[in-house]
Amino acid sequence: MWIAITLSALAMTAIVAGRYLASSGIFAAITNRVRPGYHAGLGSQIRREIGWSLVSAAIYGIPAGVVAWGWQERGWTQIYMDPGAYPLWYLPLAPLLYLLAHDAWFYWTHRLMHRPNLFRTMHAVHHASRPPTAWAAMSFHPWEAITGAVVIPVLVFVIPIHVAMLGVVLIVMTVMGVTNHMGWEIFPRRLVHSKLGGWLITASHHQRHHEEYRCNYGLYFRHWDRFCGTDKGLSPNI
């Protein structure tokens, strides 16, 4: 059993690391094409970002591997494969519930990590990226990585979700995590400045957090920032 769990954890670590390298690499290449010179002089920073991110990949991969083993071998989770197991309207609802729950957890833990002592211990590594790049999406101190690594493994025990919809959640997590750190806005201006865009977090919003630190703590949505008075809008530099 322990050998199977270990192999599952190693496999998931490799998958998480590969997903990071592929997604960040693609968007970094797009940045180099669209914004030539943006990465100029950031070679050592990018190498640090990749190093921290690969450590984070292991921290994310280990619990994911344990959960994957438990799902396949013991049926422990609420992940299901039969689309008819729940009403069809529930298929798109489950990812939204996951993203809302993850967003709430991220907002409050992120805001907590901006307290001086915790910032120095846990969050300073991430903010050492000046300016952030696509490679900074998972550039966390191990303690911070742990706070992020537990979310989805806990949710799959609590909220039923089809395996394909769980894939959608992971895609959204990956794309938003990377694009929010690119330093420029990849999404159309008409979306970012629309009524819908006013509730979503993109690079324009998250960049302001990296510029001013004490605002814009959310991950996917802006409702917590707005409700708590920490939303300072979009960066004027993007």
Considering the chain, what is the average pLDDT of its residues?
97
Exposure letters 115-128 (e unless 16+ CB within 10 A, then b): eeeeeeebbebbbe
| φ, ψ for residue 230, nearest 5 deg | -110, 10
Q: Which residues contact 59 (CB under 8 A, 6 or more apart)?
A: 142, 145, 146, 149
The runs of H, that is alpha helices, within the chain are: 2-34, 43-69, 90-112, 116-118, 124-127, 142-149, 151-158, 163-179, 189-192, 203-212, 223-228
Which regions of the chain are under pLDDT 50?
A: none
Give the per-residue pLDDT at 86: 97
Instruction: Tokens 């039923």: give the residue.
Output: 160
Give the per-residue pLDDT at 1: 86
d(CA 164, CA 20): 20
